Amino acid sequence: MAQKRSVKKNYPDLHGIVLLNKPKGISSNLALQKVRHLFKAKKAGHTGNLDPMATGLLPCCFGDATKVAHLLINSDKTYLARCVLGSQTDTGDATGKVIDTATKSQATITEIEQASLALTGDIQQIPPMYSALHHKGQRLYDLARQGKTVERPPRPVTIHEFKLIENHADYIDFEIKVSKGTYIRTLLEDFAAKLGTVAHMSALHRTEAGIFSGEDMLSMEQIAQSKDPNQLLIAMDQALIEYPEFILTTTQTQNLIHGKTISIDGQSGVYRLYDSSSNFLGMGNLDQEGTLKVKKLFLKSYQG
pLDDT digits (tens, 9 = 90+) for 94-143: 999 999 999 999 999 999 999 999 999 999 999 887 777 777 778 877 87
How confident is the model at residue 236, as a pLDDT? 86
Does a structural domain hold residue 118? yes
Q: Tell me how far apart the alpha carbons of residues 187 and 151 are, in angstroms, rounded to a whole number.
A: 18
How confident is the model at residue 304, as a pLDDT? 59
How confident is the model at residue 4, as a pLDDT? 43
Q: Which of 13, 51, 93, 216 is the catalytic position?
A: 51
Run of H or E residues at 28: helix 28-39
* 204 and 81 in a common domain: yes
Does a structural domain hold residue 304? no
Domain count across the chain: 3
* 162 and 91 in a common domain: yes
How confident is the model at residue 300, as a pLDDT? 60
* 86 and 203 in a common domain: yes
* 183 and 135 in a common domain: yes
- The mean pLDDT of the chain is 89
Does a structural domain hold residue 96? yes
Residues whose CB is less than 8 angstroms from the CB of residue 211 and which lie 6 or more positions away in sequence, other chains included? 75, 238, 239, 241, 242
Catalytic site residue 173?
A: no
Does a structural domain hold residue 302? no
What is the per-residue pLDDT across 31-88, written as a single tens digit (0 to 9) for each? 999 999 999 888 898 888 899 999 999 999 998 888 877 777 778 999 999 999 999 9
State the pLDDT confidence band at 224, using cuts at 50, 70 and 90.
Answer: very high
Predicted confidence (pLDDT) at residue 2 exceeds the cutoff of 50: no
Query: In the predicted model, what is the mean pLDDT of residues 14-30?
Result: 94
* 194 and 148 in a common domain: yes
Q: Tell me how far apart the alpha carbons of residues 31 and 21 are, in angstroms, rounded to a whole number.
A: 9
* 81 and 34 in a common domain: no
Does residue 142 or residue 253 have the better pLDDT?
253
Does a structural domain hold residue 285? yes
Instruction: Please answer whether residues 273 and 243 qualify as being in contact, where contact means their C-beta atoms are separated by less than 8 angstroms.
Output: no
Q: Give the domain CATH number at 282.
A: 2.30.130.10
3-state secondary structure of 238: helix
Q: Give the domain CATH number at 219.
A: 3.30.2350.10
Percent of the chain with pLDDT over 70: 95
Does a structural domain hold residue 255? yes
* 172 and 81 in a common domain: yes
* 225 and 194 in a common domain: no
CA 169 to chain centre: 32
How confident is the model at residue 296, as a pLDDT? 83
Chosen domain end from 222, 238, 254: 238
Domain enclosing residue 196, as ranges: 77-209
* 103 and 63 in a common domain: no
Lowest mean pLDDT among 130-134, 209-213, 260-264: 130-134
* 198 and 108 in a common domain: yes
How confident is the model at residue 6, as a pLDDT? 46
Does a structural domain hold residue 33? yes
Does a structural domain hold residue 1? no
pTM: 0.86
* 196 and 125 in a common domain: yes
